[in-house]
Amino acid sequence: MLLNVSVKNAAGETPAYGYAVFLFTGLLPWTYFASSLQAGAGAVLSNAALVKKVRMPLQVLPAAAVLSSLANFGLSLVVLAVVLLVAGVPPHLTLIYIPLLVALQTVLNLGFAYGLAALAVFFRDVLHILGILLTLWYFLTPIIFPIAAHPNESFLLHLNPMTPIIVAYQRTILDGVDPEWSWLAYSAAVAVGVFAIGFAFYRRASDSFEEEL
C-alpha cells in the first residue's frame, strides 16, 4: 500500500510537477540526513591518528562531518532550484521556511552523529548496522510515496521524526503550503532531545577514546 507512487499534494490533489520532481525534492534532505549519520558515525574512527597524537576538542569531529554534508546539501538545493525552474514549478513565499527546516534537521543530524560516533568507538559493528537501519528508515519516510495519499497511516508515519521534516520540505517547496506546525514542533522536540543525549554521551565517552582506539 505504501508503495503507491501516485503523487498527491497537500490538498490531496494531483499536481502538475510530476513524480520525478516530488521524489527529488524529498530525496535531497534524506540524503543530507543519511550522509550526516554515516559520516558522523565514523568521524572518530577515521581520525584515530588525530585523536591519539593531537590535542584537540574532539567535539569538532562529528560536527565537521555533518557540516560537510550540509555543504553538499546546499549545493543540491541549487540543483533542485534549476530542476523546479525547468519543471515549471513557481517559487512560493513559503520558501522562507527553508532555513528553519535546514536548521532543525541539522540539530537532529548532529545529535545522531555525536551519539553514533561515540558508540562506534566501542562497538565497531555500529557502522554496518547503521546502513541497514537507514535503508529501513528510508522506506518508512514519505520520500517515494506522498503521505497525503495514505491518510490511514499518517499518524504512525508522523511518529518518525524525519516525516514532518520531509513533508515540510515538500509542502513549502512544491505546494506553497505552510509546514504542519504541530508535527514540526514534535520533530523539533525530538531533535533537541537527541542532540542533548547524543552530545552528553559523546562528551562523557570521549575520555576513553584514546585507549579504545
Higher-confidence residue of 116 and 56: namely 116
Q: Quick one: CA dihedral 181, 187, 191, 197, positive or negative?
A: positive
Spatial distance between the Cα atoms of 152 and 156, rounded to a whole number of angstroms: 9
**Which residues, 6+ apart, have CB-to-CB distance to 161 below 8 Å?**
108, 186, 187, 190, 191, 194
> 155-179 pLDDT, tens per residue?
999 999 999 999 999 999 999 999 9
> 73-86 pLDDT, tens per residue?
999 999 999 999 99
The cell numbers describing 65, all together, are: 562531518
The cell numbers describing 108, all together, are: 537532529
> 92-108 pLDDT, tens per residue?
999 999 999 999 999 99
